[in-house]
Amino acid sequence: MNFGTIGAGVVAQAIARHVVGAGQRVTLSNSRGPSTLDEVVSTLGPLASAGAVADAATADMVFLTVMWPNVAAALTDLPPWDGRILVDATNQFANLDPVEVADLGDQTGSERVATLAPNARVVKAFNTLHGKYIAADPRHPAGRQVLFYAGDDAAAKATFHDVADGWGFAPVDVGGLRDGGRLMQVGGGPLSALHALKQD
């Protein structure tokens, strides 16, 4: 399995470190072009590469890590998803200063992402954790870092579970994109920003 990131900030780089640490390949991308990521991929090592967003989006599992106002543009003009897994790590902040949560009506953030990426199998994950907890080794003396995830496709969730478990996280399935997404998202979700360890 290979991996890609749409976005190359703190969260994407943290995820990429777990990918290469497991001996797997990752292509990072951003809106400014591959040449702006030379230093990042050099630090990550030979299993990491930089590419256009369209290149990263062809991976078996793609992580969406851009800021919410940039989501629609980031998912435009990409190759057909054809059932590949899109892991939505975004939070629907319309603005950060002052903080403003986007009004999506009856949709959760990941339901909106799913409409923007037709035929992608969307899994919601990583949005509940601060970047420092994603970047750190998830294995602690007291237990493993809990990683909540949600999705509507059982097979995609099972694949994500196995990947995250292999990286050392303790993945916890909280349901579908609607009910699970509401638990996880900013603006009232009780799992948002919840840092927890699972005893082994």
CATH number of the structural domain spanning residue 93:
3.40.50.720
For range 131-141, the mean pLDDT: 96
The residue segments making up the domain with residue 168 are 3-198
pLDDT tens digits for range 166-197: 999 999 999 999 999 999 999 899 999 999 99
Using DSSP, how many helices (H) and how many strands (E) does the chain show?
Answer: 8, 12
Q: How confident is the model at residue 156 (pLDDT cuts 50, 70, 90)?
A: very high
With a CB cutoff of 8 Å and minimum separation 6, the contacts of 50 are: 8, 27, 28, 29, 34, 35, 36, 37, 38, 40, 41
How many folded domains does the chain comprise?
A: 1
DSSP 8-state secondary structure symbol assigned to residue 78:
P
pLDDT at site 64: 99
φ/ψ (deg, to 5) at 27: -110, 120
